[in-house]
Amino acid sequence: MRTNYSEGNEVMENIQYFMANWKFHSLTLLLVVSWYGISTTIILLTKWAVSEVPGFEFPLLITTTNNLGAFVWSFLFIRFVVNNIPHCSKERLLYSFFPVSVGIALEIGLSNIALSLLSVALSTLLKGSAPLFVMFWGLLLGTEVFKLNLFFSIGLICLGLALTSVGNYAGNTLGIILQLTAVAAGGFRWCLMQILLQRRGDEHRVSALELTYYTAPLTALVLFPFVVGLEGKSFVAYLTNTASSQVAYMILILLLISTFVFLLLIVEYLLVRRTSSLAMAVAAVFKEGTTIVGGAIWFHDRLSIVNVVGFVVCQMGILWILHY
């Protein structure tokens, strides 16, 4: 009886806790759903821009314009809505914001290149390794605590990743390597963002809008030399040989994508502040299912039974992390 009574009390305490914090949980759920929708839209629009528009194969340029657009939006909000442009020292810019920008540049840039080499489905499935890399960086940077049960969950995730790639290696080795490297860079920058966003009683703590304001232009700056070196000549040739109406249409598409990127960054930063980088990685894996469906419908990507089983095994590993 005492056991049942104590269990009943625990259930009631959980219910009371949820009711007392329902606004927090509701807003978090709204942010997660928004994050799912915006991220899926960006992936599908980028895939279309890279693969469906004749001659427009500039993933690094897309990433650069995305971040420049996000910077412009953040500046407009800070200047005319918040009406307070934050001051930042050179040391803070170099040691706090620049590493995050490098991580973003590597993650998005390499992911965009990989997306031009892989199907949406395979690219999305490979992103299921995000919790593995976030946990690795989290242990190194002190945002996560080591637990033995993580070995089991990580093992399931790795097994699932191996299965998701079965039958897709032909001609896609470079794309797979680039995508996994992008995910590793993403785990690094997520952990850094968590440190910056969750500091309490620290003058170096930043808001989501401020983080976007400083990291977006730095990300574009990091990418610019690679854009010039790898895509500069091809882009000039594209502008020369393409009708002005087609170029104007692509500019509108890039502006649209950059607007979605700005919204995604703000939502992502708010979620990291409210939860953790690992929680974001876990949510990201579940998000990939939405992108897979979108890719199958829009681009007619095909998945084998083994690929699907591998993705399910990945989810089992993620659920194990959530359970413990």
pLDDT tens across the length of the chain (324 residues): 445 555 455 545 555 555 556 677 788 788 888 888 888 788 778 777 766 667 777 888 888 999 999 999 999 988 888 777 777 788 888 888 899 999 988 987 888 788 778 876 677 777 777 877 888 898 888 887 777 777 777 778 777 766 766 665 545 788 889 999 999 999 999 898 888 887 765 555 678 888 899 999 999 999 998 899 888 999 998 888 888 888 888 888 889 999 999 999 889 888 888 777 777 776 776 666 555 655 666 656 666 777 778 777 877 777 776 665
Q: How far apart are CA 139 and CA 133, in angstroms?
A: 10
**Residue 178 lies in domain:** 59-323
Number of domain units in the chain: 1
Its pTM surpasses 0.75: no
Q: Is residue 242 part of a domain?
A: yes
**Using a CB cutoff of 8 Å and minimum separation of 24, what contacts does 245-254 make?**
246/53, 250/49, 250/53, 250/56, 253/45, 253/49, 254/49, 254/62, 254/65, 254/66, 254/69
Q: Is residue 206 part of a domain?
A: yes
Q: Is residue 37 part of a domain?
A: no
Q: Is residue 18 part of a domain?
A: no
Q: Is residue 144 part of a domain?
A: yes
Structure tokens at 207: 């808001």
Q: Is residue 304 part of a domain?
A: yes
Q: How far apart are CA 56 and CA 249, in angstroms?
A: 12
Q: Is residue 4 part of a domain?
A: no
Q: Is residue 41 part of a domain?
A: no
